[in-house]
Amino acid sequence: MNVSRRSPRAEARPPLHRQAWLPWLLLTPGLIWLLLWFVLPLAQLLPVSLSENADRFRMTLVFRGRIANYAEVMTQYAPVLARSLAYAAASTALAALIAYPLAWVIRFRGGRWKGLLLALVVLPFFTSSMVRAIAWTTLLGDDGPLLSTLRALGLPPGTRLLNTAVAVVGGLTYNALPFMVLPITLSLERIPTELLDAARDLQAGPWIVFRRVVLPLSAPGLAAGIVLSLIPAAGDVVNAQFLGGPNNRMIGNVVQSLILVQRQLPRGAALALVLMALMTATVLVHVRRHGSSDLTLS
């Protein structure tokens, strides 16, 4: 489109920014980084998951094509796997129920405060997640502000929050909120207000406007929010470790202890790959239906 009006030499050779090798020159360092530290290690996990320990202390392995590793971890940790998925699903559903109204208020009632309201959703995540976990133990502790208030309102004494499933799901829900609010707000943002006015002019009540117009049009954002919340929740380690106590271990905690404590690299790799397969399937289903743009919030 840009016919060069410059020197004949420049015409003979396309200008630098049009040359085919330039983009690859720009891409190479990043691609090498991704191949070396992402693709290669991930590909290596497959043979590792089919190996046996040669020397557990040094974590050396012998490849044996041992598919039994998978059968073993799947049977031994089936309850943990089920619990992880249940906690992830519960926290994602809760986060959606909280985030959707919040995104609605930001989009349709935010006015000129929209940007600030959105920033306030992200702001808490600029504190360390580990320090937030400490703060949660303060808030949810047996003599903490929440339980004291609830007891004053008639909660039977002896009810605990820390080291229960409620605390873990609560922590996961909290972490999922920005991942839910941002894509939903972005998709609500794309709905022209004229469309809502038109629906109201046609005598649609607020519930009908929501069900028939807004919800279908914001479905891609909601779907992206669900994927972006499910994945970190299912693989989470911190919440179960610090808020859940010994009876609420999730897949991430088991992988961690298999590898770092028991030094069972093959079985840890097998369990990690099971988790990876489940999450990749979720992403692929999403990408096939909605494309990948909502996942990167662009």
Interface with other proteins, residue 131, by CB under 8 A: yes
Reported as type and span, the H/E element at residue 134 is: helix 129-140
Interface with other proteins, residue 262, by CB under 8 A: no
Distances (CA, A) of 147 to 83, 151, 155, 169: 25, 6, 8, 17
Interatomic CA distance for residues 70 and 36, integer angstroms? 26
Q: How many residues bind other proteins (CB under 8 A)?
A: 91
Part of the chain binding other proteins (CB under 8 A), chosen from 94-102, 150-158, 188-196, 211-219: 94-102
Question: Between 68 and 284, whose beta carbon lies closer to other proteins?
Answer: 284
CB of 283 to other proteins, least distance (A): 5
Site string for other proteins, 211-240 (x = CB under 8 A): ----------------x---xx-xx-xx--
Interface with other proteins, residue 63, by CB under 8 A: no
Exactly one of 50, 73, 121, 172 binds other proteins (CB under 8 A); that residue is 121
238: which 2 tokens?
């911190």
Exactly one of 152, 153, 202, 260 binds other proteins (CB under 8 A); that residue is 260
CB of 71 to other proteins, least distance (A): 19
Q: What would the DSSP string read from start to end of 214-283?
A: IHHHHHHHHHHHHHHHHHHHHT--HHHHHHS-GGG--HHHHHHIIIIIS--HHHHHHHHHHHHHHHHHHH
Interface with other proteins, residue 242, by CB under 8 A: yes
Given a contact cutoff of 8 angstroms between Cβ atoms, the answer to whether 45 and 269 are in contact is yes
> Interface residues for other proteins in 187-216 (CB under 8 A)?
205-207
Part of the chain binding other proteins (CB under 8 A), chosen from 67-75, 184-192, 216-224, 263-271: 263-271
Count other Cβ atoms within 10 Å, centred on residue 48: 20
> Interface residues for other proteins in 138-177 (CB under 8 A)?
138-139, 141, 143, 174, 177
CB of 115 to other proteins, least distance (A): 8
Given a contact cutoff of 8 angstroms between Cβ atoms, the answer to whether 196 and 229 are in contact is no
Question: Tokens 């790959």 sit at which residue?
Answer: 273
215-218: long-range contacts (C-beta < 8 A, 24 or more apart)? Answer: 217/187, 217/190, 217/191, 218/184, 218/187, 218/188, 218/191
Given a contact cutoff of 8 angstroms between Cβ atoms, the answer to whether 188 and 103 are in contact is yes
Interatomic CA distance for residues 266 and 62, integer angstroms? 10
Interface with other proteins, residue 275, by CB under 8 A: yes
Part of the chain binding other proteins (CB under 8 A), chosen from 37-45, 62-70, 184-192, 214-222: 37-45
Part of the chain binding other proteins (CB under 8 A), chosen from 73-81, 112-120, 182-190, 214-222: 112-120
Part of the chain binding other proteins (CB under 8 A), chosen from 62-70, 73-81, 184-192, 289-297: 289-297
